[in-house]
Amino acid sequence: MDIDSIKVGMICSSHKGSGRVTHIDGTTQTVYLTDLMDNKSIEVAIEEIIDDPQLHTHHDYYY
């Protein structure tokens, strides 16, 4: 997945777990996630992000 397509607040999945993006470090190509189940922090290299377009749609947002 391309680092430019990842935004803070997105839900991303990796082999370490799934979580909401809290910080993106472009220098080290690292994405920091907060686990959806227990709020633990997950540090993931950009190569480890599993690209699943169904996770990133905006159809499930409420106004």
Confidence at residue 51, expressed as pLDDT on a 0 to 100 scale: 73
**CA–CA gap between residue 59 and residue 16 (Å, rounded):** 26
Would you say the pTM of this structure is higher than 0.85?
A: no
CATH number of 3-56: 2.30.30.140
Confidence at residue 57, expressed as pLDDT on a 0 to 100 scale: 52
**CA–CA gap between residue 33 and residue 63 (Å, rounded):** 24
Question: From first to last of its 63 residues, what are the pLDDT tens digits of the chain?
Answer: 788 889 999 998 899 989 999 999 999 999 999 998 898 999 999 999 987 666 545 555 554
Contact 22, 10 (CB under 8 A): no
Q: Domains of the chain: which residue ranges?
A: 3-56
